Structure 1
């Protein structure tokens, strides 16, 4: 029974489409014949053509049989000649009111401006003004239409007359209103200057609504006839509305469309909507589009599509069936493309909307293009949101979106204005893969662990891959047939992106198994490789299209390797793929390979750090870890040797990854060496002051290298290096902060072995933790040209501070030994600090003289002043007896000598050149 109903729906839909096709073919022939007659009439009136030539031209025009053939006619008539044609002939389509460009004509710069723009402020203002002046007509039309509808409703409520009589009376009432409208129009006219203006449209529009209501009630309420007669009657009413709208104007057409759309809601049938009503709203859309196609009332097309989309949605929400809604949305897209241009094969003029946006053209797309685009956006959105079930039937929206993309790629290849339309359903297909949470849940519930033993896996994901492959194949064919780069981009992205989305959101390997899912990816990779070869042959050499296909193939191969190989093998395989991309760029000059290099470097970085990352590096056998990290570094440096000139960003990426991989390996080796095999017997040195600095040092080296390279870079490459340097510097700074704070041996308890200082004095872990980093900052900071002068000065100051901390801690170790965390300070230790500060002041004064720097001289005197303050405020309290005498005597002599040295330095600088600040 369902199959029979579906067949009836198909037949019912084919009837209006067939009639529309006949209208299109007949109208094109009639338009050409009328154009030929008008042109010859103009030439005859001007005396430029003889009767013989006119007869020959007419004969040639009448022999036109093919829609694509065009008679070789004289030049078009002037505007005065067209104006001389009667308004009746113009209204009936014999002669166009204004010349319309042929659908085969090449697009012009102002083509978009010659088409109607519907949503304009002046249009809304005109409509509001008309309603203010003529609102009575609108209310009258509405009242008469409701009278016909409620006539049927009243008969139902009161039980008056048999159902066939009620329906017949409703239809007769509508016919009487239409007849009244025609009588008024013929008797007194329908011009705006006549007293009866708009009345014919009011009566005829209300009559159309009444007939729609009667026919719909006969089917939905009484079941007097089947689907075929129902829609035959509805089609006849729609054809009548088209004819009346043609004669009476857009007001009547709009009344008919709105009334027909509201009829299923106004006639209460007491049951849920049926799938047959989808065809009803498709018929409404076809009617409005057909009226506009001949009369050029653009807003009628917009109204018809809005009413159709709204009606289809309401029917679906009411329970008419999701499958029927999906098929209706696709049918609506086809109708919105065929009917406005009156051609079965789309030939919409360009430029397309995407081309206008990309090239910033100051033109509008033609109205048919805007109409098709807007309707496609709505249909695609509805298909993405459509939920038709959780099992196999849930795949219908995917197939409809993929089929719509394939249809637009192949069917509309001769329409430059529609070249970007396939992007929408293709993008909708990919979005549906992410948003179909119900289907994803149903798929994952069939996991291998959850299925019955020996039960086969469902075909869901395999069918989705086939659908994505169909989009890729259609786009590739379109590109090879002269479609340009946009179809090639769709071809190289549709299937690979679909597979990646399936991997991330559907996780097919849990249902199919890793091997079978990897086979899907490898099959597509083989197809992409074949496509790259076909593109290269078509272009004469590898070009942009083949480069995109190669990128897709490499990505799919990487996914298959990810599914099948171990951690180390996968990392090495990805590194080899990175090197292959560089080699392809060098061999065939394919700059697009740089995209794969950048993405591949990001993926490899993620693998080295996060997944499997450092945790895997701490537990896996050390040879495997070393092979993975050094293999990545080797591939990067080999890629730098092969990389063609001018690839600045890929070069920076390869260089950064090549340096970071050994740094990470050193970090892992050091950490593994500091962690004992048995935590119960060994000591974990990773949180010691020297262990933290050892782990931070490779990151500091990486940060310094990137900063040094950034000084010779520009643009995006410079910012990339600075970003990597910032990340590495933050990691190094974290280790240094821990070594200065919680892990500092100055704050360690005697029971904590990690707080002990190891090694000989001055060549111990203190030098490793604080002395060497301080020296590195002091001497390397001036060479980091990427930093501003103030930044380099801050780094040098940090280095000096680390050296001072190292000196203080070394002095304390000389007095206390390997453990310096005692709370007390010895008197000799205090005096040692004083001597060290005096020595520092003397060195600074010497450097001030050597450099003739007032800044160093002031700094030296500040150190000496601080030393004096320390002696009098701190040291004196702990000294007594002869020690106090000798201490202050020594301090006095030292200060006297330093004062003399300071005075001598000032004089020397005054006699020489000017001091430097």
Structure 2
């Protein structure tokens, strides 16, 4: 009303007349437009004759006024506390008053059972009569909540009275009691239809609380559960009739609350667990049907009763000793979930949840000492989920996933938890049959692209195939079916051309690494010891047959699959590097076998030769891949590994200059010189980048120094440096400097010229500071004379080269300077 009055005041202030009922909408719009235009004209100043001022645009015409509608009263805390809660609490208080009155009469012995029951029934009927009177009295008929509270309290009282009469005092036999419960339920539904949701809520609270106040276990669990089942069924019927989803949900939650209360209260009374299980199964199934019938659209609310039922049955199964009754309850509820999923796809997540909880139940049952019925239940579960899943797999990926889970899940859990149930060949046959069923499903979904069901079907086929084949092989040969799985998944991915399938070979390779953990760990320890300077790593090698059997086959299969650049997807670099590293370790272990360096004498005789051959193999493989421009990343890794081995082992850690090792007695044609010269040759013939040419130059210097050292000491290069050896170093370094300087001038390679000049400078300082200090007399004079003449000649030749180069470049510079721009 305040908003309507404010709107009227605004209209009157603008001077717009209210439309009369007989005016047409067009007339009212024209009148309002004329009024607003006149108001705008009065407020705009008149322009001079020569000015052109645009007229103001009229405001949009507002919609015609409507008749004021009655405004709903706003929600307020005062109205809730002062007007609503007292009535509802009062109704609940009436129910409690009746129950406590009866309980007091029982404890005091004032009244007999029949009188107590009769008084309780009269109390409930009086409350219902009071509700009808409240609907008719002038003082209360304007507030329907009074009648609603009284009717709800009366219904709750009648439910409690019937429970006491039939279950506590046995005043009524089962058949009449059932008829009376149906009658009260019908009356409750009629009153709820007449009075609305509050009456239904009061009846719900009273009906569920009544057994607690009267003593829930006085007559046993069976009558109590029968009472709860009839009462919940009545609530579901009322909720469906009126479309009250909240009532169906509240009834289901209260029912599950009673189940958990009974689980906590029963303790060591196993005879009642079967009744609780049956009640759980019925409640979950009926609630799943009732909620959609009330119009509830929330998918999670509609799935909740089924999921809650599965959880409750799994929790009850140990109390039922995982017997036939426990399995029957679960399988019947799972069948209900599948039936609902067939009728409406919304329930498919509940069916998948049922499968997941079933696998948990199967695992717990197989770990139980008494499991006679569990294998049969696992077979029934497989058929229950797999057959409809395969039949309806074309409907959606969810059905295909259900088929895969039903086909593989119970079988894998049984094999893992109780392998002694069957012989190994029997397990193998079953797993290969299951793999064929999964492969059939994958074949039918091959055109689905990156479909989740296609991926799961491919994985399930590989897993079941590996396990099935492994049952017919010795336990140690698991690597063979894993290698076949890698090749099979790689070929399947290339056939289907689905991007997600190219990542699947990672999984069997990871399984192969896990299964070969011990030999792989031994290889890792071997490499670590070798890097730290162990001279006899051969003694740490695992058995060659063990390495080949556990690691070689899967690694070779994965490396072969890497020939397809799409293989492994985003994981290609990481997993491919890991596979190549394992392959290199295996080759390293194999190359240690021929020489078998198991003693220090054997190491001194052939240690350098073996190490040089391994390093040269890495360098040659990397060089070939880089020159062929195939797998350049792998080629770079191998080349880097070879250079690292050359620097770390041959120049620093195990250099034959410090550690006694035979390199050969022939000058120039010995292992030390040939090894360093080959390193330089690999690098000189690669792409002429600055790092590569720098490494090549350094390796060339190492080869020259090794030639001098070997010529001075023979096959064993250890020992002190003599004066002739020192002079030989200066001579070969000077020759290398002059050669690089000449090649740099001849080919125009600036880096060679700089390298030659730098080496020449270093040799000059060495001669002056080291070599000359060891000479006396004529030898010192002759050395300085020869060095001076050589340096003068080199300087004169290099200056002529620089002058010629500058004259050749000058015309081109002049031409460039004369060109415009």
Identify the residue that residue 487 of structure 1 maps to in structure 2: 399
Identify the residue that residue 177 of structure 1 maps to in structure 2: 127
Q: Find the aligned partners of 1:215 and 1:703 in 2 and give their Cα distance.
A: 91
Identify the residue that residue 512 of structure 1 maps to in structure 2: 422
- Deviation digits for residues 659-699 of structure 1, max 9, x if unmatched? 889766644431333446xx579857999566567668878
Identify the residue that residue 357 of structure 2 maps to in structure 1: 428
Identify the residue that residue 556 of structure 1 maps to in structure 2: 464
TM-score between the two structures when normalised by the length of structure 2: 0.67
Identify the residue that residue 301 of structure 1 maps to in structure 2: 248
TM-score between the two structures when normalised by the length of structure 1: 0.61
Q: Which range moves more in the overlay, 828-837 or 616-625? A: 616-625
Supply the RMSD in Å over aligned alpha carbons: 5.7
Asked if 1 retains the 8 angstrom alpha-carbon contact of 2:470 and 2:477, the reply is no
Aligned to 1:564, the other structure's residue is in SS state coil
Structure whose alpha-carbon radius of gyration is higher: 2
Asked if 1 retains the 8 angstrom alpha-carbon contact of 2:168 and 2:219, the reply is no
- Deviation digits for residues 387-410 of structure 1, max 9, x if unmatched? 622996178777766654443334
- Cα distance change of structure 1 residues 148 and 623 upon mapping to structure 2, 3 Å threshold: closer
Q: Find the aligned partners of 1:733 and 1:174 in 2 and give their Cα distance.
A: 97
Deviation at 1:334, TM superposition (A): 1.9
Q: Find the aligned partners of 1:860 and 1:159 in 2 and give their Cα distance.
A: 122
Asked if 1 retains the 8 angstrom alpha-carbon contact of 2:668 and 2:674, the reply is no
- Residue 371 in 1 paired to residue 301 in 2? yes
Match of 1:334 among 285, 290, 295: 285
Q: Find the aligned partners of 1:898 and 1:226 in 2 and give their Cα distance.
A: 129
Match of 1:135 among 41, 64, 85: 85
- Residue 467 in 1 paired to residue 378 in 2? no
- Residue 607 in 1 paired to residue 521 in 2? no
Q: Find the aligned partners of 2:721 and 2:288 in 1 and give their Cα distance.
A: 92
- Deviation digits for residues 339-386 of structure 1, max 9, x if unmatched? 23449xxxx9xxxxxxxxxxxxxxxxx7164432233344445555x2
Q: Find the aligned partners of 1:231 and 1:797 in 2 and give their Cα distance.
A: 101
Identify the residue that residue 816 of structure 2 maps to in structure 1: none
Asked if 2 retains the 8 angstrom alpha-carbon contact of 1:138 and 1:202, the reply is yes
- Cα distance change of structure 1 residues 625 and 245 upon mapping to structure 2, 3 Å threshold: same
Deviation at 1:565, TM superposition (A): 0.7
Q: Find the aligned partners of 1:464 and 1:202 in 2 and give their Cα distance.
A: 52
- Residue 252 in 1 paired to residue 166 in 2? no
Deviation at 1:810, TM superposition (A): 6.1
Asked if 2 retains the 8 angstrom alpha-carbon contact of 1:572 and 1:628, the reply is no
Identify the residue that residue 412 of structure 1 maps to in structure 2: 341
Alignment of 1:288-367 (within 5 A): 288-319=235-266, 326-342=277-293, 367=297
Q: Find the aligned partners of 2:748 and 2:160 in 1 and give their Cα distance.
A: 104
Identify the residue that residue 162 of structure 1 maps to in structure 2: 112
- Deviation digits for residues 60-86 of structure 1, max 9, x if unmatched? xxxxxxxxxxxxxxxxxxxxxxxxxxx
Q: Find the aligned partners of 1:215 and 1:160 in 2 and give their Cα distance.
A: 20
- Cα distance change of structure 1 residues 726 and 295 upon mapping to structure 2, 3 Å threshold: farther
Q: Find the aligned partners of 2:306 and 2:677 in 1 and give their Cα distance.
A: 69
- Cα distance change of structure 1 residues 548 and 757 upon mapping to structure 2, 3 Å threshold: same
Alignment of 1:540-579 (within 5 A): 552-553=460-461, 555-566=463-474, 571-573=479-481, 575=483
Match of 2:649 among 721, 725, 739: 739
Aligned to 2:111, the other structure's residue is in SS state coil
- Deviation digits for residues 165-214 of structure 1, max 9, x if unmatched? 444434433333333223212334978xx3x3422222233334444444
Deviation at 1:338, TM superposition (A): 1.9
- Deviation digits for residues 729-773 of structure 1, max 9, x if unmatched? 9988997786369852369655xxxx5546866665557877656
Match of 2:594 among 673, 682, 687: 673
Asked if 2 retains the 8 angstrom alpha-carbon contact of 1:697 and 1:732, the reply is yes
- Cα distance change of structure 1 residues 130 and 313 upon mapping to structure 2, 3 Å threshold: farther
Identify the residue that residue 137 of structure 2 maps to in structure 1: 187
Aligned to 1:318, the other structure's residue is in SS state helix
Q: Find the aligned partners of 2:219 and 2:743 in 1 and give their Cα distance.
A: 97
Asked if 1 retains the 8 angstrom alpha-carbon contact of 2:152 and 2:199, the reply is yes
Matched length: 711
Asked if 1 retains the 8 angstrom alpha-carbon contact of 2:506 and 2:568, the reply is no
- Cα distance change of structure 1 residues 545 and 885 upon mapping to structure 2, 3 Å threshold: same
Q: Find the aligned partners of 1:131 and 1:401 in 2 and give their Cα distance.
A: 45
- Cα distance change of structure 1 residues 337 and 702 upon mapping to structure 2, 3 Å threshold: farther
Identify the residue that residue 199 of structure 1 maps to in structure 2: 146
Asked if 1 retains the 8 angstrom alpha-carbon contact of 2:165 and 2:172, the reply is yes
Identify the residue that residue 26 of structure 2 maps to in structure 1: none
Identify the residue that residue 499 of structure 1 maps to in structure 2: 411
- Deviation digits for residues 22-54 of structure 1, max 9, x if unmatched? xxxxxxxxxxxxxxxxxxxxxxxxxxxxxxxxx
Match of 2:318 among 389, 403, 408: 389
Structure 1: unaligned runs, 5 residues or longer: 1-124, 349-365, 447-456, 713-720, 783-791
Asked if 1 retains the 8 angstrom alpha-carbon contact of 2:490 and 2:505, the reply is no
Alignment of 1:528-539 (within 5 A): 528=438
